Amino acid sequence: MPRTRPSRDLAAPVVVVGSGIAGLSFALKATRHAPVLLLTKKNAAESNTNYAQGGIACVTSAEDSYELHVRDTLEAGAGLCREDVVRQVVQEGPARVAELIELGVRFSEREEGGGGPDLGKEGGHTKRRVLHAGDITGRELERALLSAVRSHPRITIRENMVAIDLITTKKLRRKGPNRVVGLYALDAGRHQVEAVAASAVVLATGGCGKCYLYTTNPPIATGDGVAMAYRAGVPVMNLEFVQFHPTCLFHPAAQTFLISEALRGEGAVVVNAAGEDFTRKTDPRGSLAPRDIVARAMDEEMKESGAACVYLDIRSRGSEFLEQRFPEITGTLRKLGIDPARQPIPVVPAAHYQCGGVQAKLNGRTSLPGLLALGEVACTGLHGANRLASNSLLEALVMAHEAAEKLPTLIEGSTGVEKLPDWKEGKAHDADELVVITHNWREIRQLMWDYVGIARTNKRLQRAKSRLGLLLQEVQGFYWDFRVTPDLLELRNLALCSALIVESALRRHESRGLNANADYPEISKTAKDTVIRAGEI
């Protein structure tokens, strides 16, 4: 491996880390105030947004209303949503979606009934309100946003940049109030660590689905933003609420392929091997109940029967409908030997969305001046204990808009972009056995799946905490002894995020939303957030 070279100057008034819908939308709007440098750790199109199939929940129909969308969101969130945040996101939705359309995003339209948007319906929604682009909505959003970002004269994109840690005035031992002044990032192509100076750093890094063995998330979802913010002293909130998507394809050749919830909105039913609709035993809405309810019902069915999976049955809609409404999913399944028009689709729940995150306002402001957190990396109070389907892209759009509008006030107190000290690797050397990194990566994901999954107990959580404590020490040793690599940096973040999830779950003595603990089966009368502050783990 080439030797890690010292850093070189790299600076911008605003640095955005992440190239999903939150980061790209913010970057475009922030250019009204300052030039933007956008860092992404793979290519710019690689993000959780790009894999989103369902769509954007937004009130656009005369049959729908803000109040109904608010009510559905609050009900899914199991008493832990902030209603003021929910109302603002829902009410701003139509304006933000209109901006996407103006930018060139092409949503699917109805062929009958005079045209108009073809609105989908998903679990927890009482009305059709999900705008989509077939079953590749995320890809369409990335296409339009990336095209605009790449052509913008005030935005610079640097790919293959793996963020390491935030740089603060406290870390530099400077007098005065603590604030962000930049970050260190590894240029993976050049094996060079760069000090990136900024007046404001925006974390738009997505979630931490790769903490789990089975996930619908791409490999990049290693919780980098949460880990970086926590190490910099910013509180994290409600990380115990990891949403498991009920329908991930169960197939050895496509272990992270999501079967969109929109199929259930169009009549698909979750059944067992005998073809029984078992979900109605726990909720009258059956397969269209919120995700936490459906995922738990599936988990219980699989444990009781010993089955490796259950099934999603949409045979009633036929080939023509499936090919028109879900061309990507139908085509992929048929390539794998599964014809959804003729046979049920084997599915299992898989880690999908991080409902908690860095404690932040709707405008992205965190407790650390100069640091903003947008999208899935942030916890604003919108999702509560369980995210309503397709609300995440909406939140990202609203947060990006609010943060860009208020950017001048959010970076007040900055002395401007300044020279930062070079990265010092000290006596670090190349790792002699990379197998230790690979082994620990696998062990973390396996123990999180086994002990911190859909159904939890105190005993399992304590086992996870004990082992993760040792793994954190090992990984920190690797970090100090070895030259940094993308795999090592992701392992470091993965281990910390896993420990934060476990600690959050141990602190919640109830079963609410996505946190189901057999030792605390009841829901508390008072809904409280779980907040972990610096140094508490």
Q: Do 374 and 399 contact (CB within 8 A), yes or no? A: yes
Q: Which one is catalytic: 291, 445, 456, 512?
A: 291
Kindly report the CA angle at 491 between 220 and 358, in degrees rounded to 5? 65
Helices (H), 340-382: none
**Secondary structure in 3-state letters for 478-505:** HHHHECCCHHHHHHHHHHHHHHHHHHHH
Q: Distance between CA atoms of 515 and 384, rounded to whole angstroms? A: 11
Place of tokens 């890809």: 139
Give the list of residues 6+ apart from residue 517 with CB closer than 8 angstroms, or none: 456, 457, 458, 461, 505, 508, 509, 510, 511
Residue 512 is classified by DSSP as B
Q: Do 74 and 507 contact (CB within 8 A), yes or no? A: no
Bridge partner residues of 165 (DSSP): 184
Angle between helices 327-335 and 318-325 (to 10 degrees): 110
Q: Give CA separation, 360 vs 375, 381, 433, 531, in Å.
A: 10, 9, 39, 12
Q: Distance between CA atoms of 374 and 19, rounded to whole angstroms? A: 11
227: tokens are 């880990």
Residue 129, class by beta-carbon neighbours within 10 Å (0-12 exposed, 13-18 middle, 19+ buried)? buried
Residue 133 is classified by DSSP as S
User: Would residue 291 show up in a list of annotated catalytic residues for this protein?
Assistant: yes
Q: Do 171 and 362 contact (CB within 8 A), yes or no? A: no
Q: Distance between CA atoms of 85 and 400, rounded to whole angstroms? A: 14
Q: Residue 95 is inside which H or E element, if any? A: helix 83-103
Q: Distance between CA atoms of 137 and 11, rounded to whole angstroms? A: 33
State whether residue 322 is helix, strand or coil.
Answer: helix
By annotation, the residues acting in catalysis are: 291
